[in-house]
Amino acid sequence: MASINTTSQPVTANGHVNLAHSPVQDTVDIGSAAVSITDLHKRYGDLKAVDGLSFQIRPGEIFALLGPNGAGKTTTLEILEGYRSRDGGAVSVLGFDPQREATQLKPLIGVMLQSGGIYPTVTPFELLELLNSFYPNARQPAELLDLVGLTDSASTRYKQLSGGQQRRLALAAAIIGHPKLLFLDEPTSAMDPQARRVTWELIEAQQQQGTTIILTTHSMEEAERLADRVAIIDHGKLLTLEEPSALRRNGGSTVRFSGPASIDPADLAGIPAANEIIAKGSGQFVIETDDPIALLDELTTWARQRGILLDDLRAGHETLEDVFLRLTGHQIRE
């Protein structure tokens, strides 16, 4: 009989939450990596924010670092950026130790913070004009304002910009110095769909110019669109690292459907080809299976016998969101 999961947490055959994960091996050569982390540790009192984290990032790739809130993403980024010291482990960023060689590293990186960091009364043009003076071959303010769609708001104070406009200005500030390595923390939060897709194109253009990009996001669509590889971490540990397509392909098959909210997940658990029933609420269900063809046949028979109409019935591989939830047991915050 299939297990039933109404909490979006992975469960084992005996019904317990499965928090055990196999060690993840990264195949990138350390010597050729743009970023290399080996056995990284960071504690805040009794809290292990980063607990033995190891991975490498290839030059020129977009690398997505995913995890639930409190997973250790921000601490890891701050260590890589040179803004926070580590307690243990080895870190190399563009050939420099960010803790000991921050002066040499800072001109080579661009950082887009998740929020804040910009004086509230400064205008976009004033900010970019100031930052332009910090770099020998910086991009021009007018060029960047046009690139991120802020030309008409060049003289508007930062605090009067919309949330999406503030994010676009932060991106312009991060790329003004032609960085070799770009850190993007939730780059499209607060953006409308049109601005989000334009920003994705800007990020892809940066990669085409040879920039290595580290991206954190809660949007699985964004990670799938942009990332060459995805690392999922939780409790400061690496759970998996792979290309998005491989993560979905290796995760198994699912059948999804929506139906009346009155459907009891326990009634679905008796379907022979169903391995696990995930009830997402509002009549939305995901069933994990080893045989999607058999499951489709059994599920439609089950529904017909009960006079139930199933909407949006489809089979396929796990989505990146499914993989995320299976590994971390947390809902994704949009």
Residues 291-304: pLDDT tens digits?
999 999 999 999 99
User: Which CATH number among 3.40.50.300, 3.40.220.10, 1.20.1250.20, 3.20.20.450 corresponds to the domain 30-247?
Assistant: 3.40.50.300
φ, ψ dihedrals at 24, nearest 5°: -105, 130
Is the confidence at residue 334, as pLDDT, over 70?
Answer: no
Assigned token pair, 31? 């010597």
Q: What share of the chain is helix, strand, coil (3-state, %, to 5)?
A: 35, 25, 40
Q: Which of these, 202, 193, 201, 228, lies nearest to 214 by C-alpha position?
A: 228
Is the confidence at residue 77, as pLDDT, over 50?
Answer: yes
Matching fold, domains 30-247 and 252-317: no
Residues 157-179: pLDDT tens digits?
999 999 999 999 999 999 999 99
> Which helix or strand (DSSP H or E) is residue 42 part of?
strand 35-44
For every residue of 240-298, DSSP letters joined together read: EEE-HHHHHHHT-EEEEEE--TT--HHHHTT-TTEEEEEEEETTEEEEEES-HHHHHHH
Output the pLDDT for position 16.
Answer: 30
Domain ranges of the chain: 30-247, 252-317
Is the confidence at residue 19, as pLDDT, over 70?
Answer: no
Q: Which CATH architecture has domain 252-317?
A: 2-Layer Sandwich (3.30)
